[in-house]
Structure 1
Amino acid sequence: MIQKTSNNWQLLSIPFNQDLENELLQQHLAAQFIALTGRYLIPKKPDGSNINMQYIPEKEMLLGNAHPAGWTIGVKLRNQTVQILDENNISKPEISIEGKTFQEAFQEFKSVLQNQEIDVSQLKTEQPYELPTGGLKEGKYFALASDDAVSENIRYRHNSRLIINELAARFSDVEPVRIWPHHFDTGTFATIGRNEKNAAVKTIGLGLAIPDSMVPEPYFYLSFWSENPLDIEPNLVKLPAGKWMMPNWNGAVLGTSEIIKEQSAVNQYNLVKDFFETGIEILLKKMK
């Protein structure tokens, strides 16, 4: 039985390892089916959000934006399947990508879309960033990791959606919580100040990121940006968890290795919540 809090935070318990990383990278690559659909088949939005997606916890699914005709693309994380859903979110064809190369899966994806009378003449694999194909297993095919690794990665998405949505609701000028296919982060940003042209001049970002050159494990982050320099010293008030990354980066991070030291779901949730609330309070005071 999964240990969870009353608001549904699920206990994280596995130190980040190669199995977890391989599964995370495969999820990242599978998410590109949604991103490519958004880039080439859905009309472009000014903020580029046509390529992003959200996490649907009850289905353990990444879900893209709706096409004007009403259909959407989803990726089931539990079993590595790509779904085409109609306007009522009912799955039509389902494509298993396990055991296939990315190109094999992509060609089948195009064929299934075409069979649904969807114009795929513009659909291709080019992205303005490198596709994360390094996550594919030896032999270069999709292959599910252990059940533990799949489940822990699903808990990353579940918990980040939960806490980031709770925090976002406290701001009046905030973007929807979404997953972006380049960095594969679950995040949002709140606008704290705007100029006379209604352009943002101060923002706070919050989310969950996957491992990168700054932190070698999944981590929650709190970042800030200001059009004009802020008087923020590197030795800000110490956070109850995590650490400030200044001056090399404008923000703070909390790695999963620190979170799993807490062995109850309640304590983990409170640790992450305190990290964000304390950091946000410090930044808002500096942004006045």
Structure 2
Amino acid sequence: MNNLWHLTGKIQPRSLTESRLRLHYAIQFIAATGSALAEPLQDYSHTSLTWKSDLKVFVGAVIHAIRSFQVALDPVSLISIILDKHGETIATSPLEGKTLVEGMNWHKKQISQLGADAEKIAFLSYPPDDFPDHAIAHGATFNTSEVAGRQELANYYANTHQLLQEIVAETEDASPIHTWSHHFDMATLISIPGKKNGEPITVGVGMSPGDRSYDEPYWYVSPYPYPDTTSLPKLAGGGFWQTQHWVGAVLTASQLTTDSDGAQEEQVRAFLYSAVKASKALLV
């Protein structure tokens, strides 16, 4: 354990939906820029975000231009940021009172000045039934009033990033940690040698801030191809198995102890490690 864990639970996890949706839309500027201007990667991770723990911001891929840069977002203040390749700030713009179009126009203007072809940038398209709808998508402006909710969500990401760093460091064939713009989950993917039923064998380990499955933050470990669910092993930390629509081990934020930051960290760690071990065994 370490003293970097941020105690969560001061805000009821199921009350974070509105903050989460606004933040989900705010990260789309990062994804759009990476999709249009970063070097394409087979796993599409050039469209993903990374948690930059020293600055406590989400950052996108490095864009090589006359002046190389990264697009970033402060999730608590909802301020869009352009960083240079050394992590120094080039420009900032609060999203408060801006529409998606206005926010995009600001990004394009700044990026053009750095020597990149900003006209290529466009919002990513997602299946309409698999991406959350919100008034922001229909012209409403960003509202930054829910600071406490966004701080709470930032704490979930920061905490998870710490634990995933441990897992990646200790696990062979674990991918870098990405936060994906589609479902807004932070995860690593563990690849296991061989195939099962003709499919690559993987274990996804991560945290979702909430979605259709659970309208609150939750940690998950998902073995693939999905194993038989008739005899699933017990999990540590109060976790349980999700078997409807997808199969995976789950620990919801509302199940977390609020005794102390150390106890909370240990509960999530115990869950993740037991679920990874169980998932690998189910895939043998």
Q: Same fold (TM over 0.5)?
A: yes
Amino acid at match of 1:157: Y
Partner residue, 1:161: 161
Contact kept? 2:77, 2:147, Cα under 8 Å: no
Equivalences for 1:56-71 in 2 at 5 Å? 56-69=52-65, 70-71=68-69
The aligned residue for residue 134 of structure 2 is 134
Counterparts in 2 of 1:152 and 1:137: CA distance versus 1, 3 Å:
farther
Once the two structures are TM-superposed, the CA of residue 7 in structure 1 deviates from its matched residue by: 4.5
Q: Name the residue aligned to 2:186.
A: 186
Amino acid in the other structure paired with 1:273: R
Q: Could you tell me how far 1:113 is from its partner in structure 2?
A: 1.8
* Aligned partners of 1:23 and 1:150 also within 8 Å: yes
**Partner AA of 1:43 in structure 2:** E
Correspondent of 1:235 among 218, 221, 231 = 231
Amino acid in structure 2 at the alignment position of 1:57: S
Q: Shift of the alpha carbon at 1:117?
A: 3.2
Q: Which residue of 1 aligns with 2:171?
A: 171
- Secondary structure of 1:58's partner? coil
Q: C-alpha distance in 2, partners of 1:87/1:233?
A: 47
* Pair 1:285–1:39, CA change in 2 (3 A): same
Which residue identity lines up with residue 240 of structure 2 in the other structure?
K
**Aligned residue in 2 for 1:286:** 282
- Give how far 1:52 is off: 0.5
Give the Cα–Cα distance (whole angstroms) in 1 for the partners of residues 155 and 230 of structure 2.
Answer: 32
Aligned sequence identity (%): 25
* Equivalent-residue separation in structure 1 for 2:82 and 2:139 (angstroms): 27
Deviation (angstroms), 1:24 = 1.4
Contact 2:221–2:249 (8 Å) recurs in 1: yes
The gaps in structure 1 that reach 5 residues or longer are: none
Q: By how many angstroms is 1:138 displaced?
A: 11
- Against the structure 1 CA distance between its residues 287 and 267, is the aligned structure 2 distance closer, same or farther, given a 3 Å change threshold? same
1:60-139 map, 5 Å: 60-69=56-65, 70-130=68-128, 132=132, 134=134, 136=136
Moved more, 110-119 or 59-68: 110-119
Larger mean CA deviation between 125-134 and 56-65 belongs to 125-134
Q: Residues 138 and 151 from structure 1, CA distance in 2 versus in 1: closer, same or farther, beyond 3 angstroms?
A: farther
SS of equivalent residue, structure 1 residue 169: helix
Question: Is 1:264 the counterpart of 2:263 in the alignment?
Answer: no
| Structure 2 CA distance for partners of 1:149 and 1:233, relative to 1, 3 Å | closer
Distance 1:139 1:64, change over 3 A: closer
Alpha carbons 2:77, 2:144 under 8 Å: kept:
yes
The one-letter amino acid of 2:248's match is G
Against the structure 1 CA distance between its residues 279 and 135, is the aligned structure 2 distance closer, same or farther, given a 3 Å change threshold? farther
Q: Which deviations, in whole Å up to 9, do the C-alpha atoms of 1:92-147 show, x marking residues without a partner?
A: 11122111111111112212222333221212234244575616499811111333
- TM-score of the aligned structures, taking structure 1 as reference length: 0.88
Rate the CA distance shift 1:206–1:128 in 2: closer, same or farther, 3 A. same
**Inter-CA distance 234–275: structure 2 relative to 1 (3 Å threshold):** farther
**1:42 maps to which residue?**
38
Contact 1:189–1:203, Cα closer than 8 Å, also in 2: yes
- For residues 17 and 268 of structure 1, the distance between their equivalents in structure 2, rounded to whole angstroms, comes to 18
Q: Deviations over 1:39-75 (max 9, x none)?
A: 1122311111110111112212000010123311111
Aligned mates of 1:235, 1:215 — CA distance in 2: 23
Residue identity opposite 1:189 in structure 2: L
Farther-moved stretch of structure 1 (138-147 vs 203-212): 138-147
One-letter amino acid matched to 2:87? N
> Which residue is 2:209 aligned to?
210
Report the alpha carbon displacement of residue 82 of structure 1 after superposing the two structures with TM.
Answer: 1.2
With structure 2 as the length reference, what TM-score do the two structures score?
Answer: 0.89
Alpha-carbon distance between aligned partners in 2 of 1:122 and 1:216, rounded to the nearest angstrom: 34
Pair 35,68 (structure 1): closer, same or farther in 2 beyond 3 Å: same
Please give the secondary structure, in 1, of the residue aligned with 2:23.
Answer: helix
Shift of 1:210: 2.4
- Paired residue for 1:149? 149
For 1:224, the aligned partner's letter is P
User: Hey, what does 1:52 align to over in structure 2?
Assistant: 48
